[in-house]
Structure 1
Amino acid sequence: MTGRNAIGTALQHLIRYKPLLRELVVRDLKVKYRRSFLGYLWSLLNPLLMMAIMTVIFSYMFRFDIPNYPLYLICGQTLWNCFNEATNMAMTSVIQNGSLIKKVYIPKFIFPISRVLSSFVTMLFSLAAILVVMICTGTVFHWEVLLFWIPLILMFLFSCGAALILSAIAVQFRDIMHLYSVITMAWMYGTPIFYPVDKVPTAVQIVIKLNPIYHYINFFRELVLYGMIPGPNTWFACIASSFLILVIGLAVFRKLQRNFILYI
């Protein structure tokens, strides 16, 4: 099956099982904020509080000379948190729904995709925090900010691909759930979330620019923080990485799902 056919088949299943997908996303959101007094308001408060703490640490203690550092920081932090939460939640999604998979036929990739989608919805609430920071810091609103959804959609596709790979591997190789926390820690520090990329050695910059998350964050910052449309290299890196990982994720998941029933 070619990449185009794989994506087309997946879209058909998503449309057919849209009610189930919606219920899974609603369930995840309800569970996340269950018995919370502030509920969805934490989607706004949490990034603001984290931004305030990290601004003090990195802007004053490490003295990174970045104009409008609070906005620079919260842009990177919001996108990274979405990717990190989505992939971590999706990794165990097939295992946790094993009893349902054994009873009825459901396209199994629905479960990791629903986890990515619920994290993406949470991130959309968190965009209000970015708007608050823009207003409080007196950021000029350029028309380019209206294109903010482009890097978010591309990162969503990349997250779906990564989630499919992780969830498929985790069924047979449970150690990945422990290993991935180490990987994401290294990945986070290898992504310019709270430091400028030009402050690291040139050799390290080359490695960082192989990181797809760096390009999504950079794309988003260019639009929101600087009011600029990124160059063709950034567009190519974001589009190519998102669709490549998505196709690979669908292929890996499709191959490994045949044996899921033996391990769940």
Structure 2
Amino acid sequence: MRAINDIKKYWGYMLYSAKSRLKAEVANSYLNWIWWVLEPFFFMLIYTIIFGYIFESGEQYFPVYIFIGNTMWAFFSKTISASVTMIRANETIIAKVYIPKFILLIIEMLVNAFKMLVSFGLTAIMMIIFQVPVSLHLLWVFPIMAVFVLVTFGFGTLLLHGGVYIDDLAHVITIFLNMMMYFTGIFFSIENRVPEPFCTALGVGNPVAFLLTSTRKAVMYSSAPDLPLLVAWFGIALILSAIGIHVIYKNENNYVKIM
């Protein structure tokens, strides 16, 4: 309840901070906000050429397939990377004004969520261009994305706390994310390309891979996700978030002293 009340209390500040960061990112660029469209588009183009044509991936509607994977991975990886160094990066603010430290993580997620929405807008346009059939299964995207955001927040809170005490954690997470990217199925289908039992292990034990695959199935292939597994990861994400918030509340007064 304390966390919910704090989110309500600081909601205005979070929105203002997120908007300010988005404006600051493009303030000195000639193309301004257009970069939020060009960046994911060019990444999709590069990955499509490399994996779709050079390595001859046979996934249906491959440009859309890549776009969904890269969009979701960018949200997760950028949030997780930032969470590790978040307290140290905001040391000046934290030392002067009290703010629940997980609020900083939510601000980062709002910034990345806006960029993800822009990319999903481009995905919708590409679905029209490539004539991807749409069904009511598309509505599964909303609960899937809710679990995806909660999973990211849960891991982010734990890493936010750990990053204060372990200086090398940022380097470890960078290596881990680079490795995890290839085990998440951004460029290929885990179900079709990875043999058993590794396929099942990745599909069940890697939440990003599971949720990414579920999103593609709902958006592109008119298929429902594995509902029991979706509920299971929702429960796990809730537990991780609760533990992370509890740990942050318990130790946040010591963060400035340690830094």
Fold shared, TM-score > 0.5 on shorter chain: yes
Map Cα deviations across residues 113-136 of structure 1 (whole Å, 9 max, x no partner): 211221112111111121121011
CA shift for structure 1 position 211? 0.3
CA distance in 2, matches of 1:189, 1:48: 20
Partner residue of 1:173 out of 166, 191, 199: 166
Contact 2:140 2:225 in 1 (8 A): no
Who is 1:229 aligned against? Answer: 224
8 Å Cα contact 1:45-1:129 kept in structure 2 = no
Q: Which runs of 5+ in 1 are unaligned?
A: 1-7
- 2:257 is matched with 262
Contact 1:28 1:115 in 2 (8 A): no
The reply to whether residue 77 of structure 1 matches residue 70 of structure 2 is yes
Deviation at 1:237, TM superposition (A): 4.0
- Report the counterpart of residue 207 of structure 1 in structure 2: 201
Aligned residue pairs, count: 257
- The corresponding residue for 1:3 is none
The RMSD of aligned alpha carbons is 1.7
SS at match of 1:202: coil
Q: Structure 1: how far apart are the matches of 2:35 and 2:249?
A: 36
Post-superposition Cα deviations, 1:186-227, rounded to whole Å, max 9, x if no partner, equal: 111111111111211213213312000012112211111112
Aligned residue identity for 1:231 = D
Q: Tell me which moved more, 83-92 or 231-240.
A: 231-240
Counterpart-to-counterpart distance in 1, 2:209 and 2:170: 23
* Distance in 2, Cα, partners of 1:63 & 1:122: 29
Instruction: Name the TM-score, length of structure 2 as normaliser.
Output: 0.92
1:241–1:46 Cα change, 3 Å: farther
Give, in whole Å, the separation in 1 of the partners of 2:246 and 2:42.
40
Report the TM-score, using the length of structure 1 for normalisation: 0.90
Structure 1 114/223 Cα, relative in aligned 2: closer, same or farther at 3 Å?
same
Mind listing any 5+ residue stretches in structure 2 that lack a counterpart?
none
The question of 1:116 aligning with 2:105 is answered no
Alignment equivalent of 2:234, drawn from 215, 234, 239: 239
Residue 155 of structure 1 is aligned with which of 129, 148, 154? 148
CA contact (8 A) 2:40 2:71 kept: yes
Task: Give 1:119's aligned amino acid.
Answer: N
1:4 paired residue number? none
C-alpha distance 60-44 of structure 1, shift in aligned 2 (>3 A): same
Residue deviations 1:215-244 (CA, integer Å, cap 9, x gap):
211221111111222232342244233223
Which of structure 1's runs of 4+ aligned residues deviate more than 6 A?
none
% identity of equivalent residues: 26
Measure, in 2, the Cα distance between the counterparts of 1:32 and 1:178: 24
User: Alpha-carbon deviation of 1:141?
Assistant: 2.2
Amino acid at match of 1:112: L
| Structure 1 equivalent of residue 59 of structure 2 | 66
CA contact (8 A) 1:82 1:123 kept: yes
Letter in 1 for 2:102: F
Paired residue secondary structure (1:174): coil
